[in-house]
């Protein structure tokens, strides 16, 4: 197909702008001898060389890897024997950017790389995306005739880098580091490692959860919606937080200006005698403003950097989705993006997680109204109020959709919100239903009663009798169905129709004592006697499958929760056990303080909350290494039976007797 002069001019204009789109993140100049890292960030060879040397000098030890200067992704040196000053040279060349820049500089024609190897010079007309080489008309004709090469994607040389944004996808290797001839086709969830089938058979044969990349791609919708989540969800949430910080900065400025104006009005009548004091006050105000400005600039900068990274990741994802292989897009790139998001949000949380609102005003010095000679006109009245919501909360929730868990533990505490009273009742359990209702089990009568309570007013709006001694409740939001375990050998299910509990049915296949229950993936997990079993919550529910043995006792009270393919449950030995989904023990925690744990819940921030039947509340890190005492005595509840959390994951309900104490989880 012939090209018109206007078409050629248009392409030349596009390429003339290309150098401006490829700046080095270190020196901000157009990339020179561009090198690309596995995270798909590109740098000048000299810039990344100096960065590596600087990293080695700071650590003052022999290093085996370094962090990307932009996203902090760890880059490992492939050749362990290579000298430090050769690391940058051995990094992957960004052929795409190098090709575009070569064409861009003075409209210099790119030479056919095949001919060049034979000391011949011909202008390149085409580019093969698979071979990563430029070809002249004669060579591309021969290339396209070969059976193994005829399916390659060949484009005009002017289109190189136009849709890829300068990304050289060869930096994301599809081959195993241990076995270079083997493709990476397996992922171990336990070690968070991708490898070939040979590595899986040697190094991961005892791991619980090893799946092929193809199986993961087809079974998880998250990989298919990554671009949408980056563009529409995470970037939107982060942008909202950035705007809030910018508005906060503007508010601080306005309050500072108003405060200064108040002070100026106060001293108008005695300005001649108070100039010195007024200047001192203005300096104090300026220092405060500068400090707050610096504080907010740090937060704004981090948020702007995160948005830039998100835009980069979204762009990379789009390129990988359209130009990369299945392994590159659906798995290796996804894991890299998840790690980058985790690093960035963790840094953000450390800075923005616990913040304050500033309320600034001018406080008059009463003495000034009586005495002419004073050494200051007043002081800044600074009132710090804790924010009602965690501004990073939305970002954390979105990260959890990416299977990224940001753990917080230090500074955890609780604040009492209210107490709900149900006279004459004997509350044994409860569960939140969406953000509207609480369902309570009441053993004060025979048969027992299920109370449907308005979560805002605390008033009972519906009562339903049940022929069983209610022990634990679980609400399945996907089915809008409630599962009810009892102290007898009974397990019930009930549908929620608007504000009515309807169709309470006994699950017929259960003939054993059951206890706590919760859902993970497609199954309901439940404590049955001295084991954990599971069943599929179909209509009617399918029979329980074999589980794994535990030292539990479902005739009494117990607790269980599942997070990130780990089951946490209480035992008859007063322990907190953590195991894999197939029963492999991960850790066992026991403390002299926690005398009788009967209920546990896991927060989205990966902190386990433990209810002690003796009347105390504790926090435990998800690795079982850190414990904190949250409360040693409840406001009204004296004999706690159960605990559950709200849908927003920061409100805890404790039930026992006639009362429910409601607490808010906070982090300093």
pLDDT at 492 over 90: yes
* Per-residue model confidence (pLDDT) at position 480: 86
Mean pLDDT of 406-429: 86
Quickly tell me which residue has 């546990």 as its tokens. Answer: 600
Taking a C-beta distance cutoff of 8 angstroms, is the pair 120, 198 a contact? no
Which SS3 state, helix, strand or coil, does residue 363 take? strand
Residue 86, CA atoms < 13 Å, CB-side half-sphere: 7
Helix or strand or coil: residue 600?
strand
Token pair recorded at residue 120: 């011949």
Nearest-angstrom CA–CA distance, 524 and 573:
25
Rounded CA separation 32/256 (Å) = 47
% helix, strand, coil for the chain, step of 5: 35, 30, 35
The answer, yes or no, to whether residue 82 has pLDDT greater than 80, is no
pLDDT at 57: 84
Q: Are 103 and 110 in contact (CB under 8 A)?
A: yes
Q: What gap in Å lies between CA 659 and CA 605, rounded to an integer?
A: 28
Q: Is 207 helix (H, G, I), strand (E, B) or coil?
A: coil
Please, which pLDDT band fits residue 385 given cuts at 50, 70 and 90?
Answer: low
Distance separating alpha carbons of residues 191 and 209, to the nearest angstrom: 9
On the question of pLDDT at 93 being above 90, the answer is no
Q: Cis (ω within 30 of 0) for the bond into 540?
A: yes
Query: How confident is the model at residue 18, as a pLDDT?
Result: 45
Instruction: Find where tokens 């990741």 sit.
Output: 313
DSSP symbol at 268:
G
Confidence of residue 654 (pLDDT cuts 50, 70, 90): very high
Q: What span, in angstroms and rounded, lies between the C-alpha atoms of 641 and 47?
A: 62
pLDDT in tens, 288-310: 899 889 888 888 888 888 888 88
Q: Which helix (H) or strand (E) holds 664?
A: strand 659-667
Q: Which SS3 state, helix, strand or coil, does residue 280 take?
A: helix
Rounded (5°) CA angle 173-175-178: 115
d(CA 205, CA 199): 9
Lookup: tokens for 348: 């953000």
pLDDT tens digit sequence for 447-489: 999 999 999 899 999 999 998 899 999 998 888 899 999 998 8
Distance CA 17, CA 655 (A): 66
460, 422 contact by CB (below 8 A): yes
> What single string gives the DSSP state of each residue in 151-162?
TS-EEEGGGTTT
- 8 A C-beta contact, residue 537 and residue 479: yes
Determine contact, residues 658/427, Cβ cutoff 8 Å.
yes
Q: What phi and psi, each to the nearest 5 degrees, are found at residue 240? A: -60, -45
- Are 621 and 587 spatial neighbours (Cβ–Cβ below 8 Å)? no
Give one DSSP letter per residue of 554-572, joined into a string. Answer: TTS---EEEETTEEEEE-T
pLDDT value, residue 6? 37
Q: Quick one: pLDDT band at residue 411, thresholds 50, 70, 90?
A: confident
Secondary structure of residue 382 in the 3-state scheme = strand
Indicate the range of 108-122, 325-339, 372-386 predicted with least confidence: 372-386
Given this model, what pLDDT does residue 14 score? Answer: 42
Whole-angstrom distance, CA of residue 605 vs CA of residue 404 = 10
Domains of the chain, start order: 5-170 (3.30.40.10), 172-219 (3.30.160.60), 226-401 (no CATH), 412-667 (2.120.10.30)
Q: What are phi and psi of 531, to 5 degrees?
A: -155, 165
Would the CA dihedral through 631, 430, 613, 559 be positive or negative? negative
At residue 169, the pLDDT reads: 64
Segment 540-549 shows an average pLDDT of: 83
Strongest mean pLDDT among 54-58, 397-401, 411-415, 661-665: 661-665
Least confident residue range of 166-175, 327-336, 420-429 = 166-175
CB 314 within 8 A of CB 227: yes
Residue 610's pLDDT is 95
Top-confidence residue, 62 or 353? 62
Mean pLDDT of the chain: 82
The answer to which of 354-358, 371-375, 388-392, 497-501 has the lowest mean pLDDT is: 388-392
Distance CA 503, CA 334 (A): 44
Contact 458, 476 (CB under 8 A): no
pLDDT of residue 107: 52
Q: What is the mean pLDDT of residues 39-68?
A: 86
Q: What confidence score (pLDDT) does residue 153 get?
A: 82
Give dist(CA 480, CA 143) in Å, integer: 60
Residue 9 predicted with pLDDT over 50:
no
Q: What is the pLDDT of residue 478?
A: 80
d(CA 484, CA 501): 12
pLDDT tens for residues 596-644?
999 999 987 789 999 999 999 999 988 898 899 999 989 899 889 999 9
User: How do strand 531-535 and strand 560-563 relate by DSSP bridges?
Assistant: unpaired
pLDDT at position 166 over 80: no
Residue 2 has pLDDT above 50, yes or no: no
Contact 65, 75 (CB under 8 A): yes
């Amino acid at each position: 197909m012939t090209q018109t002069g206007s078409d050629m001019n248009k392409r030349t204009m596009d390429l003339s702008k290309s150098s401006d789109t490829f700046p080095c993140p270190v020196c901000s100049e157009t990339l020179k001898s561009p090198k690309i890292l596995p995270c798909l960030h590109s740098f000048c060879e000299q810039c990344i060389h100096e960065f590596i040397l600087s990293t080695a000098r700071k650590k003052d030890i022999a290093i085996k890897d370094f962090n990307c200067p932009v996203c902090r992704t760890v880059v490992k040196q492939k050749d362990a024997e290579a000298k430090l000053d050769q690391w940058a040279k051995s990094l992957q060349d960004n052929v795409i950017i190098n090709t575009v820049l070569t064409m861009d500089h003075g409209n210099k024609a790119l030479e056919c790389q095949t001919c060049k190897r034979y000391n011949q010079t011909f202008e390149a007309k085409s580019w093969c995306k698979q071979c990563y080489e430029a070809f002249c008309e004669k060579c591309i004709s021969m290339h396209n005739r070969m059976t193994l090469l005829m399916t390659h994607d060949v484009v005009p040389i002017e289109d190189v880098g136009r849709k890829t944004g300068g990304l050289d996808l060869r930096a994301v290797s599809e081959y195993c580091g241990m076995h270079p001839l083997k493709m990476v086709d397996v992922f171990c969830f336990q070690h968070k490692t991708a490898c070939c089938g040979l590595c899986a058979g040697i190094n991961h044969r005892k791991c619980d959860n090893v799946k092929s990349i193809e199986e993961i791609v087809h079974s998880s919708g998250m990989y298919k919606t990554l671009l949408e989540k980056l563009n529409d969800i995470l970037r939107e949430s982060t942008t909202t937080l950035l705007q809030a910080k910018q508005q906060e900065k503007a508010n601080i400025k306005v309050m500072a200006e108003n405060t200064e104006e108040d002070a100026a009005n106060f001293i108008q009548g005695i300005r001649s005698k108070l100039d010195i004091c007024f200047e001192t006050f203005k300096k104090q105000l300026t220092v405060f403003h500068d400090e707050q400005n610096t504080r907010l600039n740090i937060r704004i900068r981090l948020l702007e950097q995160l948005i830039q990274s998100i835009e980069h990741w979204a762009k990379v994802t789009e390129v990988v989705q359209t130009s990369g292989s299945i392994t590159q897009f659906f798995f290796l790139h996804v894991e890299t993006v998840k790690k980058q998001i985790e690093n960035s949000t963790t840094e953000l949380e450390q800075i923005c997680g616990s913040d304050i609102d500033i309320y600034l005003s001018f406080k008059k010095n009463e003495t000034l109204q009586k005495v002419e000679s004073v050494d200051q006109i007043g002081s800044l009245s600074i009132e710090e109020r804790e924010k009602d919501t965690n501004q990073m909360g939305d970002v954390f929730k979105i990260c959890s959709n990416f299977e990224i868990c940001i753990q917080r533990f230090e500074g955890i505490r609780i604040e009492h919100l209210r107490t709900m009273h149900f006279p004459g009742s004997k509350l044994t359990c409860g569960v939140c239903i969406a953000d509207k209702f609480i369902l309570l089990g009441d053993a004060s009568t025979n048969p027992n009663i299920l109370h449907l309570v308005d979560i805002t007013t605390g008033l009972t709006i519906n009562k339903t009798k049940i022929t069983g001694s209610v022990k634990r409740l679980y609400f399945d939001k996907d089915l809008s169905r409630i599962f009810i375990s009892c102290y007898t050998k009974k397990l019930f299910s009930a549908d929620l129709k608007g504000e009515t509990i309807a169709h309470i049915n006994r699950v017929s296949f259960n003939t054993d004592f059951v206890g706590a229950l919760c859902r993970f993936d497609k199954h309901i997990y439940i404590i049955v006697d001295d084991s954990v079993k599971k069943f599929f919550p179909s209509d009617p529910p399918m029979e329980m499958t074999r589980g794994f043995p535990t030292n539990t006792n479902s005739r009494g009270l117990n607790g269980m929760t599942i997070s990130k393919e780990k089951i946490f449950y209480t035992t008859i030995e007063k322990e907190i056990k953590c195991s894999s989904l197939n029963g492999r023990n991960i850790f066992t925690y026991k403390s002299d303080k926690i005398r009788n744990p009967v209920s546990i819940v896991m927060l989205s921030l990966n902190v386990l909350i433990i209810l002690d039947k003796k009347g105390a509340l504790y926090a435990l890190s998800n690795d079982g290494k850190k414990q904190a005492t949250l409360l040693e005595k409840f406001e009204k509840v004296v004999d706690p039976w159960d605990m559950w959390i709200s849908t927003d994951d920061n409100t805890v309900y404790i039930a026992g007797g006639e009362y429910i104490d409601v607490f808010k989880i906070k982090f300093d």
